[in-house]
Amino acid sequence: MEHLLEKADVRNLNTMSVLHNRVSNEVLKQQLMQETFKRTTISFYQYFPIQNPQEFRDYLYKNLSVMNAFGRIYVAKEGINAQMSVPENNFEEFKKFIHSIDGFQNLRLNIAVDDDGKSFWVLKVKVREKIVADGITDESFNMHTKGKYVNAKSMNEMLQNNDTIVVDMRNHYEYEVGHFENAIEIPSDTFKDQLNMAVDLLKGKAEDKNIVMYCTGGIRCEKASAWMLHKGFKNVYHLEGGIINYAQQIKKENLESKFIGKNFVFDNRLGERITDDVIAYCHQCGKPCDTHTNCKNEGCHLLFIQCEECASKYNHCCSVECLETLDMPLERQKQIRKGIDKGQNIFNKSKARLRPKLSELNRTL
């Protein structure tokens, strides 16, 4: 590890002194698009105790920045959560560094399924209270007791079992574009709301069944499985490495994909294709479409699904109102949009539409 720190001293003195990016996002995006080499998008996480998150954060930044690695990393006392983009020619060096960290020797690196290498354009390493916000205040809860892992083959087999309940622990807009066959949606904008919603939904109905939980890369469903066990459920499982690892396994083992559609990802790609099925619809015209985008009006920036025709018609805006204010100064755009509930800047199906869905789920369990 020492040679990496030496390289950092020589190649990135400015970065070493401030330990964060000082170049504008627009410049960095342009530089990314002009790159002639390939990048690999990966994600990983690990629940393990970190005594000094700030010190660990700085150590990661110093070493990863010299590899020209981009991405978003959260560090907390409970562990690490990372989504990254690494130049292919530095990938082996990156793996060697990550696996040299105590506790990371057998760390699984999830390689992106549908990758154009343009997922991130800057390196951000932040210290957080939790690596995934869960809202848990129960001091008796811990991550040591968690559900059993299932791989792709086991997942497919369990999906055929009538005594198995498959629970999607992602947000409603992720479920909308792709999910496992017969998976239960816990319709919410936040993971912390979903945890208790899942308990309330299954309590008294599923104690004698197998509960399999899944998410994008494994971090949310692993914590959810521990929470379900903490709340008294017995037969709890979670998909190892999430949808990303599942997709890689079915390709490698030539298995049928029981995940249908697109996997939403939290980077510039906004999704990776798992199967050719398009199960969502344009939020403006209702045509089959599963392409997420952000409203071009920076005063709005709503995340929504938009087809090519509507993108052209509305100039990549979510509404006529945003289109009409698009050429106004940014501060004026924000002033006009002020006070409008955008549902955490996400197209929200609204709780009024979600209540019947929960009632329907209760009847089927």
- What residues contact residue 1 under an 8 Å CB cut-off, 6+ apart? 63, 97, 100
Q: Is 24 a domain residue?
A: yes
* Residue owning tokens 């057998």: 106
- Number of helical H runs and strand E runs in the chain: 14, 15
What is the CB neighbour count within 10 angstroms for residue 140? Answer: 5
What tokens appear for 81 in the block? 């959560």
Q: Are residues 113 and 26 in the same domain?
A: yes
| Paired sense of beta strands 292-294 and 184-185, if any | unpaired
The predicted-structure confidence for 198-253, as pLDDT tens digits, reads as follows 999 999 888 789 999 999 999 999 999 999 999 999 999 999 999 999 999 999 99
Q: Are residues 120 and 154 in the same domain?
A: no
**What is the model's pLDDT at position 304?**
95
Q: Are residues 247 and 311 in the same domain?
A: no
- What residues contact residue 339 under an 8 Å CB cut-off, 6+ apart? none
Q: Is 39 a domain residue?
A: yes
Q: Are residues 285 and 187 in the same domain?
A: no
**What is the model's pLDDT at position 5?**
36
Residues 215 and 221: beta-carbon distance below 8 Å: yes
Q: Is 77 a domain residue?
A: yes
Q: Are residues 122 and 6 in the same domain?
A: yes
Q: Are residues 113 and 10 in the same domain?
A: yes
Q: Is 270 a domain residue?
A: no
Q: Is 262 a domain residue?
A: no
**What is the model's pLDDT at position 328?**
79
* Residue owning tokens 């959260």: 74
Number of domains into which the chain is organized: 3
Q: Is 266 a domain residue?
A: no
Boundary-marking domain end, from 73, 95, 127: 127
Q: Are residues 102 and 28 in the same domain?
A: yes
- What residues contact residue 175 under an 8 Å CB cut-off, 6+ apart? 168, 183, 185, 187
Q: Are residues 103 and 171 in the same domain?
A: no
**What is the model's pLDDT at position 352?**
37
Is 215 an annotated catalytic residue? yes
Quote the Cα angle for 63-68-74, to 5°: 60
Cα–Cα distance measured from residue 150 to residue 213, given in angstroms and rounded to the nearest whole number: 10
Q: Are residues 117 and 210 in the same domain?
A: no
Q: Are residues 247 and 306 in the same domain?
A: no
Predicted TM-score of the model (pTM): 0.83
What tokens appear for 107 in the block? 């760390």
Residues 363 and 321: beta-carbon distance below 8 Å: no
**What is the model's pLDDT at position 189?**
80
**What is the model's pLDDT at position 362?**
53
| Paired sense of beta strands 148-150 and 178-180, if any | unpaired
What tokens appear for 161 in the block? 């079992």
Main-chain phi, psi angles of 40, to 5 degrees: -115, 130
The CA-atom distances, in angstroms, between 23 and each of 20, 26, 31, 39, 355 are 9, 9, 11, 20, 45
CATH value at residue 48: 3.30.70.100
- What residues contact residue 83 under an 8 Å CB cut-off, 6+ apart? 41, 42, 43, 71, 72, 73, 119, 120, 217, 265, 266, 267
Q: Is 259 a domain residue?
A: no
- What residues contact residue 304 under an 8 Å CB cut-off, 6+ apart? 283, 284, 292, 293, 295, 318, 346, 347
**What is the model's pLDDT at position 12?**
38
- Structural domain range at position 19: 2-127
Q: Are residues 155 and 249 in the same domain?
A: yes
Q: Are residues 160 and 66 in the same domain?
A: no
Residues of the chain with pLDDT under 70: 1-23, 333, 337, 339-365
* Residue owning tokens 């020797």: 105
**What is the model's pLDDT at position 350?**
38
Q: Is 159 a domain residue?
A: yes
Reference 254, options 181, 156, 164; nearest CA is 156
- What residues contact residue 219 under an 8 Å CB cut-off, 6+ apart? 45, 81, 131, 132, 242
Main-chain phi, psi angles of 200, to 5 degrees: -65, -40
CATH value at residue 172: 3.40.250.10
